[in-house]
Amino acid sequence: MRLNLTFWKFWTTEVLLLVALYVALVSFNGYQFILDNDFTYISLINISILVATSLWVGLRISLGHKSGTDLQWYLADVTLSLGMVGTLFGFLMVLYSTFDGIDVTDQDSMRAAIESLATGMGTALLTSLVGLISSIVMKFQLVILEDGNEKV
């Protein structure tokens, strides 16, 4: 009985995750947005880790396995860390390339600097957001898995 409740909790969260991913990536063209605004592609790596871990947790729940979640907890932290690495890359891009050789009297030079600034900040914020959301969802799934392993 406990496994069935655990499975339905997981299934509900998984369906919500799939709907959210579909809406974000397909309906709102989020995939292209990520490609355009994340030059590091860390966001796509985080989404891939999220999908793989979700499949793994679903398999573990359906088979009734009760242990061996250390790697998945580690991956949940990795997605968070990768998001922060993307933030640093974005900030480094802003700091080292935006104001290099800028002529404040030239409108085109200022426009290029602002575009570079926007690209770097976009990467910084996007990778952080995807890393945080991926980590939260993965940890929530792992809590459901481990909660289902406890005796009632």
Give 27-62 pLDDT, tens digit per residue.
Answer: 888 888 888 888 889 999 999 999 999 999 888 888
Does the pLDDT at position 114 exceed 90?
no
- CB-based contact 138:54 (threshold 8 Å): yes
CB-based contacts of 145, cutoff 8 Å, min separation 6: 6, 10, 57, 60, 61, 69
- The mean of the pLDDT values for the chain is 84
> Do 127 and 40 meet the contact criterion of CB atoms below 8 Å apart?
yes
Q: Which residues of 98-117 are buried (b: 16+ CB within 10 A; e: fewer)?
A: beeeeeeeeeeeeeebeebb
Residues 6+ apart with CB under 8 A from 49: 75, 78, 79, 134, 138
User: Using one digit for the tens of pLDDT, what is the confidence trace for 17-28?
Assistant: 888 888 888 888
> pTM here?
0.80
Task: Give pLDDT, residue 152.
Answer: 45
